[in-house]
Amino acid sequence: MKTALLLSGGMDSVSIAWWKRPSVAITLNYGQLAAEAEIAASRAICKQLNIPHHVVEIDCRHLGSGDMAGSEADHLAQASDWWPYRNQMLVTLAAMKAISLGVTHLWLGTVKSDGFHRDGSPEFMQAISHLLSLQEGGMVVEAPAIELSTAELVRASGIPAGSLAWAHSCHKANVPCGDCRGCNKFFHVFDEVGYDLDRPG
């Protein structure tokens, strides 16, 4: 079995990298505003864990909506960060790279709270995995932390505060804005887990 992690550089995927140690990691620059910082965070954790890191670049910003694309969220959105069919797009792009690397299992950093969006639900994960399994390579999609909250994932992974602090969760910029859903989650999880941001080591 060869595993690849879709590594966004956020708290969830960074924690899964530390916890599960995938064979390779794939980070996507699909036109999101924080792509540069996400790539830097992903590169840092992969360097520490000695995980081969691949970056795929394809600009889909004109198809996006919400905070990550720098525009108003679509009228169907339930949250400011909603980007239509985003996880379906990310899985497809990551799988296109992963299959060339001989990957059999693609891991996503989805956690329990992502079920707020339909493409973060267990039903979506089962469906997208089934879809990929029908195609050449028979790849399996898994979300190892889908039953966990982010705080529970951080604790289960054992990632130290200093490494978790590298994560970039801001949806709007390469420098954290401090006021989006991603930034708010970052600070909330550090507080819930009991990590001290002033002393991340």
**Residue of 90 and 68 predicted with greater confidence:** 90
Average pLDDT of the chain, as a whole number: 90
| Model confidence at 198: pLDDT above 70 | no
Q: Which domains does the chain have, with CATH numbers?
A: 3-193 (3.40.50.620)
Q: What percent of the chain has pLDDT over 90?
A: 74
Q: pLDDT tens for residues 74-90?
A: 666 567 766 678 899 99
Give percent of the chain with pLDDT exceeding 70: 90
Pairing of strands 53-57, 24-29: parallel
Report the range of poorest mean pLDDT among 93-102, 168-177, 191-200.
191-200
Mean pLDDT of 40-49: 98
Task: Give the lowest-confidence range in 2-16, 41-55, 144-158, 187-201.
Answer: 187-201
Average pLDDT over residues 155-178: 94
Q: Examine the pLDDT at 73 and tell me if it is beyond 90.
A: no
Average pLDDT of the residues in 115-128: 88
- The answer to whether residue 160 scores a pLDDT higher than 70 is yes
119 band by pLDDT with thresholds 50, 70 and 90 = confident
Is there a contact between 105 and 2 (Cβ–Cβ < 8 Å)?
yes
State the DSSP H helix or E strand holding residue 28, giving kind and residue range, or none if neither: strand 24-29
The per-residue pLDDT for 200 is 47
- Which pair of tokens denotes residue 160? 């130290």
Q: Which residue has the higher pLDDT, 135 or 74?
A: 135
Dist CA 74 CA 162 (whole Å): 36
Cβ 9 vs Cβ 168: under 8 Å: yes
